[in-house]
Structure 1
């Protein structure tokens, strides 16, 4: 197995003394797998009113923000079967039962996806092998230091996992693979996060006639040091599975935070958080009818319902070009969002020509250099109060766009006015 050589660093974000790095492989096309499916809202036609808001970036990006998601990733709606294999090594034997490792992530991960998708993703985790699957080499012999997928040792590890599990598993039954490594293999996540995802990998090993092309590997416990691991340490898996569904990293390789805690693809440390409305639309969790496409010159009024609540209009998108635009959504504390300290309208710019880890989405900070409003441990605070509240306006003179939050309704919705000059 020789993975594609198109690779970029997947994580370089600092949380106090914590530095995390992971890597991902993806291509704009692949064979699909474990079983073929389509990701996101890939319907053949769209209403004319919504088409200007469907961004399409350049080809060749690893994980583009454009719609629809390229083929080869796992489907993100309906029933998705997730195969979970717990592995250990002779120099890092599994501590406790393998099923206790499984229980660190489930049912929390399934519940997270159910809540975030409004029930549109029926994520079903399965563990047909209930014991630790011992690898034939020591962890040290594989030579995995920072999850680099092109290291020969990493390629051997993937093949050894498939070889060991194949007699006991029918890989044709599953849509994605989670490899839950014993946490004592490798350094603590407080030092280096090794977790990595192979997404839409066209040169993956084959088992039972299907390529193992969508797989997430979880190593050490992602413990932020606050003592909250038992509550939210599982969130590394929704993040990694987000790549399997075709979503990019929203933090930057240099360690910056362009999105803050507003999407699990940006920060999966600290308190629970949800996904941006753009990602929910991209994954097929929001209908076109829940998106307002603001193309009309002059002023147009919209009413947005909280993203955490089912139903109602969830996003207004303002296209600036065929590849960029601004999204508006209402974020409140509820659902998967536990750290929202300033409810209001979140404004962010989406660029479908910017690749994973390079800042494809940037949140507009309504209170720049305020220091933020959250006190949740290991949540980057600066953008936590980025939302706009009634009476506040965002303007972009270059594009001739202005957004004013005009008020609220008795049911907790927000009214916004979008003006295009």
Structure 2
């Protein structure tokens, strides 16, 4: 891994005071909602004030857009009430290169996340237990943790060099709760080295960590919402909205590649790769497997490996209302989805005004009476959700029908979509 960028200077006392004053005003928020034109497609839902809105007509410039290489600093924090049993190098290897590889495949090579891990521990001034770290963290204690972490690291890290900041806590410290890993969005940004820090990824994972957990949290840094259903009492099933089918639903999913809608939002799909279906007459089109990119083998209809896909249509959309749409994409055991339980055309509903964690995306089950892969799926009732080859499915409540007619020799899917009649 690349070494940390060298720090060219120490901060002045006045600048440090400015940073500490900003830290005192920390609170959760979405940050400034600055619109940058992104897509004028007729099926592109408008971005709303909902946290991590799934609208994608504009890009919120409060978030870094992952259409270029971005640099991430990993800062490892130790505490006076525990001696680390791991090394920073071991903890960095828990997450990289796996996280970078996930995004490289998901973006078809259009985005690179470059990790710059510090090579040593940074000592925190207080015991880990003093911060009362937990999932639903007390705002005052959370602010104190970020205050101390930034102050401790600032003499050695030039924060102006980085687009993403990871504070990684010693996983063996007695007060560290692995369930507390999350992105902290700052209504009042931190300020260090002449740059605003609007969000920080606080990592409290065990060693080794949960699968793809850092990729999930990094998705929030790019304005992607949580897609899981959080039970009111914390008990019950968390995966009822999307099951295995997107990293932002579950990092444990069998098919964790990001939805084509998310790839469209992030700028990884060209306009020609998205088809808007308006007509009530049948529209026939060919959908490439979501995970297929240049040089990636895809099984054809006979199961034999085929190549040559990557730049064709990945997403079909039917607009169903001012803030809602149906999305259709081909999923199967390709790329990040190599362990997918079933292959076919996945159908899901997108709502631009639904908050993160409140169902902005819901997978529609084409086989509601059955389930699959019960021994490995995060939510077996949705593991067989895709419409399979030769099947016809009408979306309940929307009068939209999809027919999966054929597979091409290269492994793409020929489908016919009939929009609602006015």
Q: Given the two structures, how large is their TM-score scaled by the length of structure 2?
A: 0.83
Distance 1:312 1:417 in 2: 16
Distance 2:341 2:166 in 1: 33
Distance verdict in 2 for CA 1:76–1:250, change over 3 Å? same
Report whether the alignment pairs 1:208 with 2:193: yes
* Residue 151 of structure 1, CA deviation: 2.5
* Residue 145 of structure 1, CA deviation: 2.3
Aligned counterpart in structure 2 of residue 269 of structure 1, from 252, 263, 272 = 252
Counterpart in 2 of 1:81? 71
Work out which structure has the larger RCO, using CA pairs closer than 8 Å and 6 or more positions apart in sequence: 1
Counterpart in 2 of 1:19? none
Counterpart in 1 of 2:12? none
Distance verdict in 2 for CA 1:165–1:188, change over 3 Å? closer
Distance 2:217 2:400 in 1: 35
Distance verdict in 2 for CA 1:147–1:69, change over 3 Å? farther
Q: For residues 163-312 of structure 1, what are the structure 2 equivalents within 5 Å?
A: 163-185=151-173, 193-199=179-185, 201-221=186-206, 233-254=210-231, 255-269=238-252, 271=254, 273-310=256-293, 311-312=311-312
Contact 1:405 1:417 (8 Å CA) reproduced = yes
Counterpart in 1 of 2:408? 409
SS in 2 for 1:172: helix
Counterpart in 1 of 2:134? 145
* Residue 175 of structure 1, CA deviation: 0.4
Distance 2:91 2:341 in 1: 32
* Residue 400 of structure 1, CA deviation: 2.9
Contact 2:37 2:59 (8 Å CA) reproduced = no
Contact 2:245 2:253 (8 Å CA) reproduced = no
Contact 2:290 2:331 (8 Å CA) reproduced = yes
Distance 1:251 1:333 in 2: 22
Distance 1:53 1:73 in 2: 23
Q: For residues 117-136 of structure 1, what are the structure 2 equivalents within 5 Å?
A: 117-127=107-117, 129-136=118-125
Q: For residues 317-336 of structure 1, what are the structure 2 equivalents within 5 Å?
A: 317-336=317-336
Q: Which has the larger radius of gyration?
A: 2
Q: For residues 16-165 of structure 1, what are the structure 2 equivalents within 5 Å?
A: 25-27=28-30, 29=32, 42-43=36-37, 46=40, 50=41, 52-59=42-49, 61-67=50-56, 68-127=58-117, 129-148=118-137, 150-165=138-153
SS in 1 for 2:326: strand
Distance 1:55 1:204 in 2: 28
SS in 1 for 2:409: coil
Kindly provide the CA deviation profile for residues 10-61 of structure 1, in whole angstroms up to 9, marking residues without a partner as x: xxxxxxxxxxxxxxx4415269xxxxxx9xxx54663xxx2x21101532x1
Distance 1:385 1:186 in 2: 42
* Residue 135 of structure 1, CA deviation: 0.6
Distance verdict in 2 for CA 1:180–1:202, change over 3 Å? same
Contact 2:253 2:378 (8 Å CA) reproduced = yes
Q: For residues 324-363 of structure 1, what are the structure 2 equivalents within 5 Å?
A: 324-363=324-363
Distance 1:369 1:168 in 2: 58
Distance verdict in 2 for CA 1:131–1:271, change over 3 Å? farther
SS in 1 for 2:382: helix
Distance 1:132 1:234 in 2: 24
Q: Aligned-pair RMSD on alpha carbons?
A: 2.2
Q: How many residues align?
A: 374
SS in 1 for 2:213: helix
SS in 2 for 1:82: strand
Kindly provide the CA deviation profile for residues 227-279 of structure 1, in whole angstroms up to 9, marking residues without a partner as x: xx6xxx34000100000000000001213421011100001126562111110
* Residue 79 of structure 1, CA deviation: 1.0
Gapped runs of 5+ residues in structure 2? 1-22, 232-237, 294-310
Contact 2:246 2:257 (8 Å CA) reproduced = yes
Distance verdict in 2 for CA 1:338–1:170, change over 3 Å? same
Kindly provide the CA deviation profile for residues 290-321 of structure 1, in whole angstroms up to 9, marking residues without a partner as x: 00011123111010011111221100011112
